[in-house]
């Protein structure tokens, strides 16, 4: 693990943890986060809005769609209301497989993400770019029963749309009818021309590793799925909680979010 655990190189999971106010990050992650926030001042607000979307979407799958098993790829560092906590509050027997490519995430996950006695959680250290390997290792999931596939704020780290679409399709093809895709992805569609130019410059200069998708590109991931109401929207607009203390605008939460059901 030590060969791959380089605290001098920023990692998206730890940068995200920094934006969410966590302490499981290093100087390189904080520097990267601050640089991106200069180009996109609402980065921290967007991170919180994205995390809240995850909770609402998983809650919908568990409470309304009857999903009892989840494959969460790009888990990130544990924080409040992780996937299994939301799902198991509704259905304690839920089973969750977490996947991330950061060894630090897996260390924390094994220590902190403890399941209910009725359910189960497992952890796979692997990369989204290896969908077949991930599916082969997700042994606690029954692929004859519906699965909630969670791809929240992870696909936008894949620069190529063709590769990203193929990976998502490989994962969905392995899941039965009734499975759901929960996905969010950064976009510049909501941004002003100035903010979009800043984002593009950050990508061009290597300060950012987040590759935004247009609405049509994001829609591609849901081809053949039944997109549930309210459709493809900014994550802050997906079934917002009226009791929440923060309501980000689409410009602040420049992340598309949607949930789709496999017919």
Q: In this predicted model, what pLDDT tens digit does every residue of 211-255 receive, in sequence order?
A: 999 999 999 999 999 999 999 999 999 999 999 988 999 999 999
**Computed from CA positions of residues 224, 229, 232, 235, in that sequence, does the dihedral angle turn out positive or negative?**
negative
The residues, any chain, with a CB within 8 Å of residue 136's CB and separated by 6 or more, are none
Query: Which residues are paired to 186 by β-bridges?
Result: 255
In a domain, 23, yes or no: yes
In a domain, 227, yes or no: yes
In a domain, 110, yes or no: yes
For residue 152, pLDDT beyond 70: yes
Least confident residue range of 17-26, 86-95, 116-125, 183-192: 17-26
Would you report the helix, strand and coil content of the chain in percent, each value rounded to 5? 40, 15, 45
What's the confidence (pLDDT) of residue 1? Answer: 32
Looking at residue 192, the DSSP 8-state letter turns out to be -
Q: Provide the phi-psi class of 74: left if phi over 0, else alpha when psi is between -120 and 50, else beta.
A: left
What's the confidence (pLDDT) of residue 114? Answer: 81
Q: How confident is the model at residue 83 (pLDDT cuts 50, 70, 90)?
A: very high
What's the confidence (pLDDT) of residue 41? Answer: 61
In a domain, 3, yes or no: no
State the total domains in the chain: 1
232 near 258, Cβ under 8 Å? yes
Which range marks the domain in which residue 120 is found?
12-261
Mean pLDDT of the chain, nearest integer: 89
In a domain, 5, yes or no: no
Q: How confident is the model at residue 207 (pLDDT cuts 50, 70, 90)?
A: confident
What's the confidence (pLDDT) of residue 42? Answer: 72
5-60 tens-digit pLDDT: 567 777 777 776 777 777 777 788 788 777 776 666 677 888 889 999 999 999 99
Q: What angle do CA 184, 189, 195 make, to 5 degrees?
A: 110
In a domain, 6, yes or no: no
Q: What is the mean pLDDT of residues 105-118?
A: 78
For residue 78, pLDDT beyond 70: no
Distance of alpha carbon 231 from alpha carbon 183, whole angstroms: 12
Q: How confident is the model at residue 112 (pLDDT cuts 50, 70, 90)?
A: low
In a domain, 199, yes or no: yes
In a domain, 251, yes or no: yes
CA distances from 157 to 61, 139, 183 (A): 25, 26, 13
For residue 117, pLDDT beyond 90: yes
For residue 138, pLDDT beyond 60: yes
14 near 26, Cβ under 8 Å? yes
Cβ burial, residue 74 (10 Å; 0-12/13-18/19+): buried
Least confident residue range of 77-81, 104-108, 111-115, 185-189: 77-81
CATH for 147: 3.40.50.150
């Amino acid at each position: 693990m030590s060969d791959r655990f380089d605290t001098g190189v920023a990692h998206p999971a730890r940068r995200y943890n920094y934006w969410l106010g966590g302490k499981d990050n290093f100087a390189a992650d904080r520097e990267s986060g601050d640089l991106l926030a200069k180009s996109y001042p609402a980065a921290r607000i967007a991170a919180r809005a994205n995390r809240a979307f995850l909770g609402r979407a998983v809650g919908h799958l568990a409470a309304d769609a009857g999903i009892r098993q989840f494959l969460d790829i790009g888990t990130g560092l544990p924080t409040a209301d992780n996937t299994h906590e939301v799902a198991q509050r509704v259905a304690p027997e839920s089973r969750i497989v977490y996947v991330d490519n950061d060894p630090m995430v897996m260390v924390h996950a094994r220590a902190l993400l403890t399941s209910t006695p009725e359910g189960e959680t497992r952890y796979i250290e692997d990369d989204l770019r290896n969908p077949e390997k991930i599916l082969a290792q997700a042994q606690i999931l029954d692929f004859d029963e519906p699965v909630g596939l969670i791809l929240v704020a992870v696909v936008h780290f894949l620069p190529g749309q063709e590769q990203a679409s193929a990976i998502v399709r490989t994962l969905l093809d392995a899941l039965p009818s009734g499975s759901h895709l929960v996905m969010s992805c950064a976009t510049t569609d909501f941004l002003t021309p100035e903010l979009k130019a800043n984002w593009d410059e950050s990508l061009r200069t290597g300060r950012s590793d987040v590759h935004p998708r247009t609405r049509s590109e994001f829609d591609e991931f849901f081809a053949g799925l039944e997109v549930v109401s309210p459709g493809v929207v900014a994550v802050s607009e997906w079934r917002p909680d009226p009791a929440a203390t923060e309501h980000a605008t689409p410009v602040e939460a420049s992340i598309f979010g949607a949930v789709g059901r496999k017919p």
